[in-house]
Amino acid sequence: MDLRELTTIRVGGPAAEFFAPATADQLVETAREVWAAGDDWIALGGGSNLVVADDGVPGTVIHVVTRGIERLPGESVVLRVQAGESWDDLVALTVEQGLAGIEALSGIPGSCGAAPIQNIGAYGQELSSSLVSIEFLDYLSGELLRLPAAELELGYRRSALKGGRAGIVISIDLAVAQNDGALSDPIDYDQLATALGVSVGDRLPVAEVRSAVLALRGAKGMILDPADPDSVSAGSFFTNPIVSAAFSRSLPPDVPRWPAEDGPSATAAPRVTPLESYVPGHLAPRTVSAASGVKLSAAWLIEHSGVTRGFRLPGSRAAISSKHSLAIVNTGGATAAQVAELARYIQTRVLSAYGVVLQPEPVLVGVHV
């Protein structure tokens, strides 16, 4: 099977072997058998944050498609969600039931099992604020473990799982809140507050927050829509760089910046995971981190380095979204090589203009950026 059919950016060649276990027990059994055989492997969720090389994967792809959501016993509301569930379907369900805590994460494509790997976040919320634990099949031991969120080293678009702890997320436990009026968490993002006509810190019904977030994401082409060519992407292709305070002071005063808990991650050369150097189950670059830093706007850096929305290299079918400068889109028939070429071009322009190396956000399999 060509993986372009299972990724939102629609690039990627075939897998040497492909499995899609239907249940959690079958997923565990399949993974253990693949690992025992010593094959190279990757786990694939919703394919929304993944760019696979045109040559494909010369090993085994385990497609995580398990479904199921249950409420655990107890006074607080904790949901146990199987890894193959659609993330946005989960958010929609919580909003329908008047549960708060993940409403600002509406519209994010992909599966629930992938959410803690990336520590997904948007509009002032991050998964880390709701995640209780994960059920994790550990590659090294083959054991099925329950890992509390505190052990996952969750930070800005990073986790211990993304940083190299190999295995497969089987399910996640999330704590959400039930309150009179089904009110959201306090609004913690200026753009969302403006769209809702409220102040930062206000609370509104979760359904209103979800509607506003979906509208904002749709305007940026960040919701999968067959009628919108700008949605054929891997989402934001670069993370907002985090630099040292000293480095930030060397930048022009009009560069948007704000305090960040994570330390510098943008001034080191980017890392890739080529096909020929798999660490089984480890598909993403490590992130440099320190005690504190300053976060910059990657979108601003891209646009002010001279790369405009809609830009594409001559002869390429990969382009910058016409709605969102952080997204690289497949305009139809683009190859992974063309996506990577455009990404490298953007990095070069930003590095030349501002001395910042942008780090890719998607998982890159055999793709050099």
CATH number at residue 31: 3.30.43.10
pLDDT of residue 314: 97
The reply to whether 193 and 298 lie within a common domain is no
pLDDT tens profile 250-261: 999 999 998 886
Which residue of the set 4, 10, 157, 165 is catalytic?
A: 157
231 is catalytic: no
Q: What gap in Å lies between CA 179 and CA 131, rounded to an integer?
A: 19
The reply to whether 270 and 348 lie within a common domain is yes
Q: Are 7 and 49 in contact (CB under 8 A)?
A: no
The reply to whether 246 and 138 lie within a common domain is no
Which of 186, 219, 252 is the last residue in one of the domains?
219
Q: Domain for residue 301, yes or no?
A: yes
Which of 178, 197, 219 is the last residue in one of the domains?
219
Tokens of 67: 């479904």
H-helix or E-strand containing 338?
helix 336-354
- Beta bridge partner(s), residue 172: 81, 134
The reply to whether 46 and 178 lie within a common domain is no
The reply to whether 40 and 81 lie within a common domain is no
pLDDT tens profile 56-81: 999 999 999 999 999 999 999 999 99
Whichever domain contains 207, its CATH number is 3.30.465.10
pLDDT of residue 298: 96
Q: What gap in Å lies between CA 260 and CA 240, rounded to an integer?
A: 10
Which residue of the set 85, 126, 135, 361 is catalytic?
A: 361
Residue with tokens 């139809």: 332
The reply to whether 203 and 298 lie within a common domain is no
pLDDT of residue 279: 31
The reply to whether 25 and 143 lie within a common domain is no
The reply to whether 239 and 346 lie within a common domain is yes
85 is catalytic: no
Q: What gap in Å lies between CA 267 and CA 50, rounded to an integer?
A: 23
Q: Domain for residue 14, yes or no?
A: yes
Whichever domain contains 358, its CATH number is 3.90.78.10
Q: Domain for residue 320, yes or no?
A: yes
Q: Domain for residue 40, yes or no?
A: yes
> Is 97 exposed, middle or buried, given 0-12, 13-18 or 19+ CB atoms closer than 10 A?
middle
Q: Domain for residue 324, yes or no?
A: yes
pLDDT of residue 309: 96
Count of domains forming the chain: 3
Cα dihedral across residues 239, 360, 352, 341: positive or negative: negative
The reply to whether 278 and 361 lie within a common domain is yes
The reply to whether 207 and 244 lie within a common domain is no
Tokens of 6: 């299972």
- Cα angle, residue 287 at apex, residues 283 and 293 outer, rounded to 5°: 155
Q: Domain for residue 224, yes or no?
A: no
- What is the full per-residue pLDDT of the chain (369 aa) written as tens digits? 789 999 999 999 999 999 999 999 999 999 999 999 998 999 999 999 999 999 999 999 999 999 999 999 999 999 999 999 999 999 999 999 999 999 999 999 999 999 999 999 999 999 999 999 999 999 999 999 999 999 999 998 889 999 889 999 999 999 999 999 999 999 999 999 999 999 999 999 999 999 999 999 999 999 888 889 999 999 999 999 999 999 999 999 999 998 886 544 444 333 222 223 223 333 333 233 334 689 999 999 999 999 999 999 999 999 999 999 999 999 999 999 999 999 999 999 999 999 999 999 999 999 999
Which residue of the set 231, 233, 236, 305 is catalytic?
A: 236
Per the structure, the complete domain to which residue 41 belongs is given by 3-63
Q: What gap in Å lies between CA 24 and CA 112, rounded to an integer?
A: 14
The reply to whether 348 and 268 lie within a common domain is yes
The reply to whether 95 and 212 lie within a common domain is yes
Which of 165, 194, 219 is the last residue in one of the domains?
219
pLDDT of residue 262: 53
Q: Domain for residue 360, yes or no?
A: yes
126 is catalytic: no
